[in-house]
Structure 1
Amino acid sequence: MDQYVVFGNPIGHSKSPLIHRLFAEQTGQDLEYATLLAPLDEFSDCARGFFKQGSGGNVTVPFKEEAYRLCDSLTARAQRAGAVNTLSKLADGTLQGDNTDGAGLVRDLTVNAGVELAGKRILILGAGGAVRGVLEPILAHKPQSLVIANRTVEKAEQLAREFDEPGAGGGQRVCLVAGAGGCDHQCHLGEPGRGNAADCR
C-alpha cells in the first residue's frame, strides 16, 4: 500500500487525511495518508526518513521553503515560488517538489466563489511559504494592486521586491501596507489560530 503524509508543525488540526481518504475511495486507490509532526529543526531528516518507504507527501507551515531546498528537482511553478507544498518520490528515488497553492487558491476563488480578480485591489496577510506560492498565479489575473501585510516587515519587503511588476495602469502592483483598509479582497494564508487558509472576504 502506498504511504503518504502531510508534514507540518502543528499538524493535528489537518483535515488532509480525511480528504485524501475520500479521494482514494472515489478513485479506487489503495493508499494510506496520515499526518506527520516534524520537529521544527529536523524537517529534512524527518522527510528523508519517511521517504525511505513513503511515496509522497504534502507540506504545510512552517516547512514549505525548507522543502524547496530539500528537493532534487522542481516543477517550474515551484521554482518560481521558491516554496514547495507537494513532494513526490520519482522512480529513481529522487524527490521532486511542486507548488499547487496558487493554482488551488485561484481556482477556488474564481470557479467556486465566482470572484473576478482582474482589476481588483487584493490584500494578502502573511509572507511565508504559502504566500510565495500564490503571488504569481494571482498576479496572472492582473489585479489593480496586490498588497502584502506581515508582522515581519523584512519578509514582506523581500516578497514585494521579488514579485513586483507594473500593473495595467503602469503603477506598482505589489506593495506593503501596515493596515488593511481600501482593499476588495483579503486573504490570510498561515497558521491555525491566525486565520484559515482561505479566509477571504
Structure 2
Amino acid sequence: MSARRLAVWGDPIAHSKSPALHSAAIRVLGLDWEYGRRQVNADGFSAALHGLDDSWRGLSLTMPLKEQAFRAAEILDPHADLTGAVNTLLLGTSLAGFNTDVGGIIDAFAEHDVRSVSHARILGAGATASSALVAVAEMGAQRIDVRARRPERAQTLRALGERLGVEVNVGDFAAQVDGVDITVATLPGGAVLDTAAAFATGGGTLLDVAYAPWPSALASAWTSDDVIPGLAMLLHQAVRQVRVFVHGDPLHELDDEAGVLTAMRTALTDPSPS
C-alpha cells in the first residue's frame, strides 16, 4: 500500500484521542503508516479534502464534519446510508464512506454484557443520535424514546425509526419515561441537565458518548453502577475504523485483533490527547 497517511479532522480537534488510539494500532500491526490530526471546519472541508494527494489512505471525521463527509462519499456502507453520517472515509479510486459509530455503540454495550433490549431511550437529536437509534434497533429495541431540547430537530429520527420498523416517540427533556432497558446520551461533553436525576431513575444501563469531562453530570446522577463511559464507544468505533483502513471493511477482523484492542485500550489511559 503506497498510501500511508491518515488523520482525524474536526473542529475543535485538540482534545481528540484518535491519534493515540490509531497510532497504537499501527504499531501492533507493524504498518508504515502515520496518523495525525487537523482542525477543519464545515466550510473548509471540501477544499481540504480535494487538497489531499495520493499519499493519503483515509480520514476519521468528528464534529462538525460527519454530514459533509456523507455528502462527499461516492460509496456508502449500510450504516452510513441509514444515518446520513460518515465518520470514516477510505480514499482510493472511489471515496468510500462508513459509519463505525453504530458498531461502536453495539460493541460498547456488548462488552458490558448488554446485547439485547426491547425499550431504549436516546438523549439528543444530532448525528450521533441517529447512530444510537440504528444501534439500539439492531440490538432488538422495538420502542425508542427520544428526548431533546428542541424536539422538532428529532423528527428525522422518527422517520428513521419508520425505515427500521421501530416505534420512535419524541419529546423534550421534561417528558420523562421510566423503565427503559438502556439510555444512550449523545449530548455534548459538559452538558448539564436539570432533569438528570429524573432520567437516572428507571434509566437502565447508561452509555454516555461524551468522555470529557468525566464523569459527566448525567453519569454522576445515575442511581446505579450501570454506567458505560464514552471512551468505550470511542475505542470500539476506532477498532472498526482500523479495519476499514486495513481491509476496507469494518467487519473484517484484524490480524492479532486482541493485541490491537489491548494496545488501544492502554492508549486511552494516557492523560495527554496526542
Partner AA of 1:142 in structure 2: G
Aligned residues: 192
Indicate the structure whose relative CO is greater, using CA pairs within 8 Å and at least 6 residues apart.
2
CA separation of 1:193 and 1:88: change in aligned 2, threshold 3 A = same
1:144 deviates by: 4.3
CA separation of 1:72 and 1:66: change in aligned 2, threshold 3 A = same
Aligned to 2:79: 77
Aligned to 2:168: 174
CA separation of 1:146 and 1:196: change in aligned 2, threshold 3 A = same
Quick check: 1:136 aligned with 2:130?
no
Aligned to 1:118: 117
1:68 deviates by: 0.3
Structure 1, residues 47-101: CA drift from partner, whole Å, max 9, x if none?
22235542101111121111100112212221122111100012x2x31101111
CA separation of 1:89 and 1:3: change in aligned 2, threshold 3 A = same
Q: Distance in 2 between matches of 1:77 and 1:71?
A: 13
Aligned to 2:237: none
- Residues 1-201 of structure 1 correspond to what in structure 2 (within 5 A)? 2-50=4-52, 53-90=55-92, 92=93, 94-110=94-110, 112-119=111-118, 121-164=119-162, 173-179=167-173, 180-182=176-178, 183-194=180-191, 196-197=209-210, 201=227
CA contact (8 A) 1:58 1:87 kept: yes
Match of 2:144, SS?
A: strand
Match of 1:14, SS?
A: coil
TM-score (ref. length: structure 1) = 0.84
Partner AA of 2:154 in structure 1: A
Greater displacement, 15-24 / 51-60: 51-60
Partner AA of 2:18 in structure 1: S
Q: Distance in 1 between matches of 2:130 and 2:49?
A: 21
CA separation of 1:79 and 1:51: change in aligned 2, threshold 3 A = farther
CA separation of 1:186 and 1:5: change in aligned 2, threshold 3 A = same
TM-score (ref. length: structure 2) = 0.63
CA contact (8 A) 1:5 1:58 kept: yes
1:129 deviates by: 1.8
Percentage identity across paired residues of the two chains? 29
CA contact (8 A) 2:11 2:63 kept: yes
CA contact (8 A) 1:77 1:99 kept: yes
Aligned to 1:170: none
Gaps of 5+ in 1: 168-172
CA separation of 1:196 and 1:138: change in aligned 2, threshold 3 A = closer
CA contact (8 A) 1:61 1:190 kept: no
CA contact (8 A) 2:150 2:172 kept: no
CA separation of 1:50 and 1:155: change in aligned 2, threshold 3 A = farther
CA contact (8 A) 1:82 1:133 kept: no
Q: Distance in 2 between matches of 1:106 and 1:72?
A: 26
Q: Distance in 2 between matches of 1:55 and 1:87?
A: 9
CA separation of 1:135 and 1:23: change in aligned 2, threshold 3 A = same
CA contact (8 A) 1:61 1:191 kept: no
Greater displacement, 69-78 / 41-50: 41-50
Q: Distance in 2 between matches of 1:44 and 1:83?
A: 16
Query: Where is the helix percentage greater, Structure 1 or Structure 2?
Result: 2
